[in-house]
């Protein structure tokens, strides 16, 4: 149990499993198909009080911006605060979150991305954003990052730094996406209208 861990061990565990349950970590994640021999897995999860279809639309926004700390990973540009028409027209191979390519998706269920092959010196890395409905207006967003670190000095550094660094950035991303999806769910506006051509 985490309450029996010392503070450092507890912090490290949180960086690897933030918000997720043991049962959720046993779910089927599409990212596992894209990393042949993973040697690490990171999980993040939270509850979103919005319909799965609306949350999925906000996940599609990752095609245009990372929705984390914009001053770090979006060149200071603010990630859009309204849905961009057409971004939910997904195709495998599309650019997503700057350094990733869309590898697989299922509407209203999941988006899975892989690190661009040009960045292969960082190893193999794939991410699945999985939506698990809990009710008509509530769902869980569970993220798994599967990693195969390269057997290089860069890989050794990543093994030590990635869990905490990813936790800081992705926690901000997920909280931002949740806030925007819940805002739109509360407003009941035109957020789920068909995309423009």
Question: Would you state the pLDDT for residue 151?
Answer: 85
State the pLDDT confidence band at 118, using cuts at 50, 70 and 90: low
Indicate the pTM of the whole model: 0.90
Q: Are 194 and 64 in contact (CB under 8 A)?
A: no
State the pLDDT confidence band at 1, using cuts at 50, 70 and 90: low
Of all residues in the chain, what percent carry a pLDDT higher than 70?
Answer: 89
Give the integer Cα–Cα distance in Å for 188 and 181: 11
Q: Are 99 and 125 in contact (CB under 8 A)?
A: no
Question: Would you state the pLDDT for residue 117?
Answer: 67
- pLDDT exceeds cutoff 70 at 119: no
- pLDDT exceeds cutoff 80 at 111: yes
Question: Would you state the pLDDT for residue 190?
Answer: 42
Question: Would you state the pLDDT for residue 175?
Answer: 98
The string of pLDDT tens digits covering residues 76-88 is 889 999 999 999 9
Question: Would you state the pLDDT for residue 136?
Answer: 87
Handedness of CA 7, 13, 19, 24 (dihedral sign): negative
Mean pLDDT of the chain: 90
Give the integer Cα–Cα distance in Å for 148 and 123: 6
State the pLDDT confidence band at 147, using cuts at 50, 70 and 90: very high
The string of pLDDT tens digits covering residues 31-90 is 999 998 999 999 999 999 999 999 999 999 999 999 999 988 877 889 999 999 999 999
- pLDDT (average), residues 15-21: 95
């Amino acid at each position: 149990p985490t309450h029996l861990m010392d503070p450092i061990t507890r912090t490290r565990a949180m960086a690897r499993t933030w918000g997720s349950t043991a049962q959720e970590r046993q779910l089927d994640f599409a990212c596992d198909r894209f990393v042949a021999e993973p040697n690490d897995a990171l999980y993040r999860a939270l509850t979103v009080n919005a319909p799965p279809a609306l949350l999925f639309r906000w996940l599609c926004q990752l095609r245009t911006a990372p929705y984390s700390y914009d001053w770090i990973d979006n060149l200071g540009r603010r990630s859009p605060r309204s849905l961009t028409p057409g971004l939910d027209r997904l195709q495998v191979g599309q650019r997503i979150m700057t350094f990733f390519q869309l590898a697989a998706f299922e509407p209203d269920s999941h988006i899975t991305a892989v690190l661009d092959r040009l960045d292969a010196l960082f190893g193999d890395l794939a991410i699945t954003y999985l939506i698990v409905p809990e009710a008509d207006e509530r769902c869980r967003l569970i993220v798994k990052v599967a990693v195969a670190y390269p057997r290089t000095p860069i890989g050794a550094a990543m093994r030590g730094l990635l869990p905490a660094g990813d936790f800081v950035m992705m926690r901000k991303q997920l909280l931002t996406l949740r806030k925007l999806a819940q805002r739109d769910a509360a407003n009941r506006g035109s957020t789920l209208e068909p995309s423009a051509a």
